[in-house]
Amino acid sequence: QQQVKQSPQSLIVQKGGISIINCAYENTAFDYFPWYQQFPGKGPALLIAIRPDVSEKKEGRFTISFNKSAKQFSLHIMDSQPGDSATYFCAAQTGANNLFFGTGTRLTVIP
C-alpha cells in the first residue's frame, strides 16, 4: 500500500520553465512533509520541508504548496535549470522513524 502517491512519474521542462510535482496522502497522522532531491548514484538530499500548519514555504526557486483539507502538497521549481535534472521524492513522516516516500519523479530540464 503506497502511503504517499506522487505524480507525474517523469517530467520534461524547458529551461526557464516551471516544474510542478504533486503528492497526495491519506494518513492524517502525517505531520511533516520533506522533499528530497536525488542525483544518479547519490543519496537523497533534503531540498525543502513543510509542516501542515503552513500553507506555503519558499526557499529560493523552490516552493512547497500544502493543502491540508485536500491532503495534497506540491513542489514548484521556478526558472528550472538543467542542473535541476534529478529525481524528486516527496515524503511524509509521523515520528522520525516513520518516513514514507512517494514513488519519485524524474525531472529533465532541457536547455
Partner 1 sequence: DTEVTQTPKHLVMGMTNKKSLKCEQHMGHRAMYWYKQKAKKPPELMFVYSYEKLSINESVPSRFSPECPNSSLLNLHLHALQPEDSALYLCASSHSGGPSTDTQYFGPGTRLTVL
List residues near partner 1 by CB under 8 A.
31-32, 34, 36, 41-46, 49, 51, 89, 93-99, 101-104, 106
Q: Which cell numbers in the block locate residue 2?
A: 503506497
Rounded to the nearest whole angstrom, what is the least distance from the CB of residue 16 to partner 1 in the complex? 27
Rounded to the nearest whole angstrom, what is the least distance from the CB of residue 93 to partner 1 in the complex? 5
CB nearer to partner 1: give 45 or 78.
Answer: 45
For residue 32, the 8-state DSSP code is B
Using an 8 Å Cβ cutoff, are 15 and 80 in contact?
Answer: yes
Rounded to the nearest whole angstrom, what is the least distance from the CB of residue 74 to partner 1 in the complex? 18
CB nearer to partner 1: give 81 or 94.
Answer: 94
DSSP E strands: which ranges in 2-104? Answer: 4-7, 10-14, 19-25, 33-38, 45-50, 56-59, 62-67, 72-77, 86-93, 99-101
CB nearer to partner 1: give 10 or 14.
Answer: 10
Rounded to the nearest whole angstrom, what is the least distance from the CB of residue 57 to partner 1 in the complex? 13
Using an 8 Å Cβ cutoff, are 35 and 73 in contact?
Answer: no
